[in-house]
Chains A and B, each alone.
Chain A
Amino acid sequence: MSTGLDLWLLVAACALATYAWRGAGVFVSGGLNPNSAMFSWLGCIAYATLAALISRIMFLPVGTLAQSALTDRLLAAALAAAVFLATGRNLFAGVFSGGAALLAITWLVRGG
C-alpha cells in the first residue's frame, strides 16, 4: 500500500512545483519586467516541453492509445483540425470530433 501514499506525495510535489511559479509571480509582480529575456526564455521552454509531450504522445504513445495505429491517429487529428477550421475555430467541436474520429477509424479497421 506504500505505492498509494507515494502517488499522493508525487501529486502533491507536482502541485507545489506548479504553485512555485505562481507564488513567485505574485511575490515579484510589479517589480519585474514581464518582457525580460529571462521570462521569454522560460516561455520558450514551457512551450517546447508541452509540444514535446504532445508530439511524443502522438508518435510514441503508451497505455490505451498505443493500441491505435499511427496513421489512424494522424488522420483523426487532421479531421479534428478540419472540423475546428470549418466551425470557425470551435475548439469544443474540433476536440470531440478528433476523439470520435479515432474511435470510428479504429472500429472500422478492426472490422467491428
Chain B
Amino acid sequence: MTSTPNTFATPRAAWKGGAREALGVPAAVLGSGYIGFGALAFDADFSLALTLFSTMTIWALPAQIALIELRALGTAAPALVLAVMLTSARFLPMAVVLLPLLRHPAYRRWHYYLAGHFVAMTGWAVAIRRCPMLPLEQRLPYFLGFTVALWLACLTGTVAGYFASGSLNELITLGLVFLNPVYFILLLGGEVRHRQGVLALLCGAFAGPLMHLLTPQWGLLAAGVIGGTVAYGVDRAWRKA
C-alpha cells in the first residue's frame, strides 16, 4: 500500500523516517480530532496557552475531552481527575507491550520514560506493527520521530480549532465541537472488533447517560467502572460457557 522502506540506514534516518510517516494520514486523522478539541476548549473559555498545555502534557484526546466536559458540568476536582485517569488506563498495558520492543543498550533509562509520554493510540499501533521490522537501535528513534511529529501536528490542529471556533460564527463552532464525538464513534466503531471491547463500549454507552442523570458529579466515573466491570464479567462468563 505504501512505499515506505522496512529499515533505515541509521538511527538518525529512522527518526526522520518516523516523522515523515506520521505527517501524512496519521497527522490528518488525529489532527482532525484535535481541531475539534481546540474548538471545544475555546467554547469552554480555556485560554489558548492552557489549551496547548493540555495537548502537550496530557497527550490523550479522550482524557482532554473528559477534562473539559466534566469541568463544564462543575465536577469536583478529585472526581474529575479520577475519571480522566480512567480514560487512559489502557496506556499501562500498551506501554508494557511496546517498551520491550524499543530496548537497546545504546539508550538510557530516561529515554524510555520520555518515550512513555508518547504512548497513545495512533503512535503505539504503528510502532507495534513497524518496530519488529527495524534493527533494534533504530526502533526508539523511529517511535520518537513518529510520535513527536504527530504531537506537533496535533498542537497545530489544536490552535487551528481554537481560532476557527473563536473567529467564525456559532454554527461553525457547533460543527467543530461535534467533530469530537463523531471522531470516536467512527474510530471505535470501525476498529474495535473483539467481543470484550465491543461489550465494554456497549455497556459504557448505555451506562453513560444513565449514570449522568443519577449523579452528574460522579456519573462518568461510575459508568466507566460499572460498565467496564459488567463487560469484563459477561465476557468471562461467555468464554467459560
Residues from 181 to 203 in B contacting A, C-beta threshold 8 Å: 181-190, 192, 196-197, 199-203
Q: Chain A contacts of B125 at CB under 8 A?
A: none
* Residue of A with least CB distance to B199: A44
* Alpha-carbon gap, A48 to B230, bound state (A): 10
B150 beta carbon closer than 8 Å to chain A:
no
* Alpha-carbon gap, A41 to B93, bound state (A): 11
Q: Is the CB of A84 within 8 A of B84?
A: no
Q: Is the CB of B223 within 8 A of A52?
A: yes
Q: Is the CB of A48 within 8 A of B97?
A: no
Smallest Cβ distance from B58 to chain A, in angstroms? 5
Q: Is the CB of B179 within 8 A of A95?
A: yes
Q: Is the CB of A7 within 8 A of B50?
A: yes
Residues from 54 to 112 in A contacting B, C-beta threshold 8 Å: 54-60, 62-65, 67-68, 73, 76-77, 80-81, 84, 89, 91-92, 94-96, 98-100, 102-103, 106-107
A42 beta carbon closer than 8 Å to chain B:
yes
Q: Is the CB of B96 within 8 A of A73?
A: no
* Alpha-carbon gap, A14 to B96, bound state (A): 21
Interface size on B, residues (CB 8 A): 107
Q: Chain B contacts of A11 at CB under 8 A?
A: 50, 53-54, 57-58, 67
Interface SS, A side = helix
B44 beta carbon closer than 8 Å to chain A:
yes
Q: Is the CB of A20 within 8 A of B85?
A: yes
Residue of B88, B99, B178, B203 ringed by the most chain A CB atoms within 10 A: B178
Residue from the list A20, A30, A51 in contact with B99, Cβ < 8 A: A30
Known contacts: A48-B204, A49-B220. The answer to whether A64 contacts B43 by CB under 8 A is yes
Smallest Cβ distance from B99 to chain A, in angstroms? 4
B107 beta carbon closer than 8 Å to chain A:
no
* Alpha-carbon gap, A41 to B231, bound state (A): 9
Q: Chain A contacts of B144 at CB under 8 A?
A: none
Q: Chain A contacts of B166 at CB under 8 A?
A: none
Q: Chain A contacts of B219 at CB under 8 A?
A: 52, 56
Smallest Cβ distance from A95 to chain B, in angstroms? 5
Q: Is the CB of A60 within 8 A of B176?
A: no
* Residue of B with least CB distance to A30: B100
Chain A 6-33 interface 0/1 with B at a Cβ cutoff of 8 Å (1 = within): 0110111111011111111110111010
Residue from the list A18, A52, A68 in contact with B207, Cβ < 8 A: A52
Q: Is the CB of B186 within 8 A of A21?
A: no
* Alpha-carbon gap, A65 to B165, bound state (A): 13
Q: Chain B contacts of A45 at CB under 8 A?
A: 86, 89, 200, 224-225, 228-229, 232
Q: Is the CB of B69 within 8 A of A39?
A: no
Q: Chain A contacts of B113 at CB under 8 A?
A: 23, 26
Q: Is the CB of A14 within 8 A of B178?
A: no
B211 beta carbon closer than 8 Å to chain A:
yes
Residue from the list A12, A44, A49, A106 in contact with B196, Cβ < 8 A: A44
Smallest Cβ distance from B119 to chain A, in angstroms? 5
* Alpha-carbon gap, A103 to B175, bound state (A): 5
Chain B 199-241 interface 0/1 with A at a Cβ cutoff of 8 Å (1 = within): 1111111111101110000011101111111011001000000
Known contacts: A49-B223, A62-B72. The answer to whether A26 contacts B88 by CB under 8 A is no
Between A and B, 9 residue pairs with Cβ closer than 8 Å are A8-B53, A18-B63, A20-B85, A28-B96, A49-B204, A51-B202, A58-B185, A63-B40, A67-B170
